[in-house]
Amino acid sequence: MIKLNAVILNGSLKHQTQLAPIQEALEHEFKTQNIKTDSYIMNQIKIISCTGCFKCWDTTPGICTGVKGDIGEEIKKKVVNSNLLVFLTPITFGGYSSELKKIIERLLGTLHPGVQIINGESHHLKRYDSYPSILAIGISENSDKEEEQLFRTLVYRNSLNYFPPVYKTYIFQKDDEVKQERIKQMIDEMELKK
């Protein structure tokens, strides 16, 4: 039996607690399904922002050498070797939180700098043979439908460049009760292969 791996990147900002019940429910379900899980609460670890040096593309393919002194490379290795990447984030102006955005930008080295044209758009080439599926879960503070649509569009656009076999986007309202059966359904819809 193949052992599945998941990486949870929790982009909560300091003093935000809305994502904790979702993370706990995900971890519980992954444990129930025997999926090895690495969880990171981004505001509790040191992640330095990408410097934009592009060395991970042209000098040390796939390896960030422009940033030193954090665990960004460790997280990237876990992501590349996982079956499922989970983004947890408060929806901020239709996007990811600043905490989550820092590590997403550091994943740039997982892509090849070359481009290909897909449906009239340029997209990066794969650096690796396989990439994890992406499950993006956002918390909406104010039930703003336009902001929620921007978030869905952002996840879709990122999925075009990160080559996930499956990607899904779910949005919770800040006062929604987190039900384990809903979390189980989300994971089941990811169609992870055992």
Report the CATH number that the domain containing residue 20 is assigned in CATH. 3.40.50.360
Return the pLDDT at 172: 94
Q: DSSP state, 151?
A: H
Return the pLDDT at 2: 66
Return the pLDDT at 174: 87
Return the pLDDT at 114: 87
Return the pLDDT at 27: 98
If one counts the domains in the chain, the total is 1
Residue 110 · residue 80 · CB < 8 Å: yes
- Per the listing, tokens 């996007």 go with 95
Angle at 99 between CA 136 and CA 77, to 5 degrees: 70
Sorted by sequence, the CB contacts under 8 Å of residue 32 that are 6+ apart come out as 184
Cβ-in-10-Å burial (0-12, 13-18, 19+) of 49 comes to: middle
Residue 136 counted as domain residue: yes
Return the pLDDT at 69: 86
Residue 53 counted as domain residue: yes
Domain hosting 42: range is 5-189
Residue 135 counted as domain residue: yes
Residue 87 counted as domain residue: yes
Residue 106 · residue 95 · CB < 8 Å: no
- What is the distance between the alpha carbons of residues 1 and 3, in angstroms, rounded to a whole number? 6
Residue 156 counted as domain residue: yes
Return the pLDDT at 1: 56
Residue 16 counted as domain residue: yes
**pLDDT tens per residue across span 99-124:** 999 999 999 999 988 888 988 989 88
In the predicted model, residues of the chain with pLDDT beneath 70 are: 1-2, 194
Residue 65 counted as domain residue: yes
Residue 194 counted as domain residue: no
Residue 43 · residue 89 · CB < 8 Å: no
